[in-house]
Amino acid sequence: MELRQIDAFRWEIPRHGKMRVPGRIFASERMMADIRRDKSLEQVANVAWLPGIVGYSMAMPDMHWGYGFPIGGVAAFDPDEGVLSPGGVGYDINCGVRLLRSDLRRDQVVPHLDELSIALHQAIPSGVGSESRRKLGDRELDDVLRRGAAWVVAQGMGRRADLDVIEEGGTMAGADPALVSARARERGRPQLGSLGSGNHFCELAYVAEIFDERAAEAFGLFADGVTVMIHSGSRGFGYQVCDDSLRTMLQASQKYAIELPDRQLCAAPLGSPEARAYFGAMACAINFAFANRQVMTHHVREALTSFFGEGPQGLGLDLVYDVCHNIAKWENHTVDGRERKLCVHRKGATRAFGPGHPAVPARYRAVGQPVMIPGDMGRYSFVLAGTEGSMRETFGSSCHGAGRTMSRHEAKKRAKGRPIWRELQDRGIWVRTDSLGTLAEEMSEAYKDVADVVEVVHGAGIARKVARLVPMAVVKG
């Protein structure tokens, strides 16, 4: 595949074949050597085939081979000419990350990590097929699907202020439970408030480094301050919504004569009944995920305040922000000097709105939207802020994580005979899991160094470094 290097952080796939726009990739030269080894560049080119795509088919530096869109893919579509593609959102709809800050200092928790990690593990149902503490009735499930995190807060699990710092306020508009299959309901019903398995986690960390004092202060972060990060999505509910939609979308692609280089990119015109139906069901899954992370936040707050003998408002466990990784939504962006309403798909990418944007909560508006970039469990994660650069170049988007460098299979092979949990504990990181297999698959070496990814987005100006977090206790699904 022909690839032109534009500068230290930008690459272009020139238009060829049936591509409607060029591809734009954010990566360093060293990372590009890795990226070239799989099929993700071809996937960037494939996305550019879709009708109504605006500007570029983009990929963030943590890009890797997915199905349909590459993981790390961003694409925006014109409302009249464009399409909605479930393959541009993925199976784990609204998989995302939220960060809590606290008044706790590192030295207050380090002596208790053994017990604290057990307390967190007990507080959050985790692992394959993990189930919540109570099964939702039909009407409750409808409420979750319509109202997301707002419903959970109304149930007494959380604070109204939490909703101010969740993308979409924790409630995606346009959700219609009538558009969701019985199967999706059955898969989701027992799972609200559970972590799941794979790369999902809940992590206690401390602020190891601050790069931007002003933004860190706005986010409530200070040196050695303790944070909690939760990474999870819409569980079986979202997988089933995606699966169900592909059936309709494959037929829709034929009906509307949309030429596809990969069937997983199947799509329907944005105004069509098929696209509207997927949007209504996807919004339900988005709300399920917001609600899921909100319930787990409640469990974490309860576990930590009871551990340290504080009241519910104690410890200053405030939500910093909650971002989505897999989503399609309507946003206004300036293209060639003109403001346009576009349907932005982010698959393994994070919204990163810059300073002054009205969708950024008032208290962060001067510094930009918080963007959390989890690394692997043995190294570090980053907190960034959105910039004017992301608004100008990437439809207000940035990277979402480290990205794997090793297959799960390969990681398991290399971890054989090694007590991964002990290696981590020797470095001061207490890991709790129900599955040693997951631990092996998720070991540090299986991931790229997230610092490399962050250097690219910072260098390219599509996000700005604010702080680096180092894990102390990790609950793995």
Cβ nearer to another protein, comparing 171 with 197: 197
Clarify whether 400 is annotated catalytic.
Answer: yes
Query: Considering the complex, what minimum distance in angstroms separates the CB of residue 68 from another protein?
Result: 6
Query: Considering the complex, what minimum distance in angstroms separates the CB of residue 196 from another protein?
Result: 7
Q: Is 177 helix (H, G, I), strand (E, B) or coil?
A: helix
203 touching another protein, by CB under 8 A: no
- Positive or negative: CA dihedral 34, 393, 462, 374: negative
Task: Write down the H helix ranges in 110-211.
Answer: 113-123, 138-147, 149-154, 160-164, 182-188
What's the length of the chain? Answer: 477
67 touching another protein, by CB under 8 A: yes
38 touching another protein, by CB under 8 A: yes
Among 200, 333, 357, 400, the active-site one is 400
Of positions 14, 129, 137, 428, contacts another protein by CB under 8 A: 129
E strands, 240-318, in order? 268-269
262 touching another protein, by CB under 8 A: yes
198 touching another protein, by CB under 8 A: yes
Give one DSSP letter per residue of 436-460, joined into a string.
HHHHHHT-GGGB--HHHHHHHHHHH
Applying CB under 8 A, which part among 145-153, 193-201, 310-318, 337-345 lies near another protein? 193-201
335 touching another protein, by CB under 8 A: no
Give one DSSP letter per residue of 307-344, joined into a string.
HTT--TTGGG--EEEEEESEEEEEEEEEETTEEEEEEE
Query: Considering the complex, what minimum distance in angstroms separates the CB of residue 345 from another protein?
Result: 16
User: Hunting for tokens 């799509």 — which residue is that?
Assistant: 267
Query: Considering the complex, what minimum distance in angstroms separates the CB of residue 135 from another protein?
Result: 14
Task: Give CA torsion, residues 360, 73, 192, 141, to 10 deg.
Answer: 80
- Cα–Cα dist 22/56, whole Å: 5
Could you tell me which of 390, 344, 395 has the C-alpha nearest to residue 368?
A: 390
CB atoms within 10 A of CB 270: 22
201 touching another protein, by CB under 8 A: no
Binding mask 407-446 for another protein (x = CB under 8 A): xxxx------------------------x-x---------
- Cα–Cα dist 399/384, whole Å: 10
Query: Considering the complex, what minimum distance in angstroms separates the CB of residue 101 from another protein?
Result: 31
39 touching another protein, by CB under 8 A: yes
Query: Considering the complex, what minimum distance in angstroms separates the CB of residue 370 from another protein?
Result: 26
405 touching another protein, by CB under 8 A: yes
**Residues identified as active-site:** 400
> Where does this chain bind another protein (CB under 8 A)?
38-39, 64-68, 71, 87, 90-92, 128-129, 183, 186-187, 196-198, 236, 239-240, 242-243, 246-247, 250-251, 262-264, 266, 404-410, 435, 437
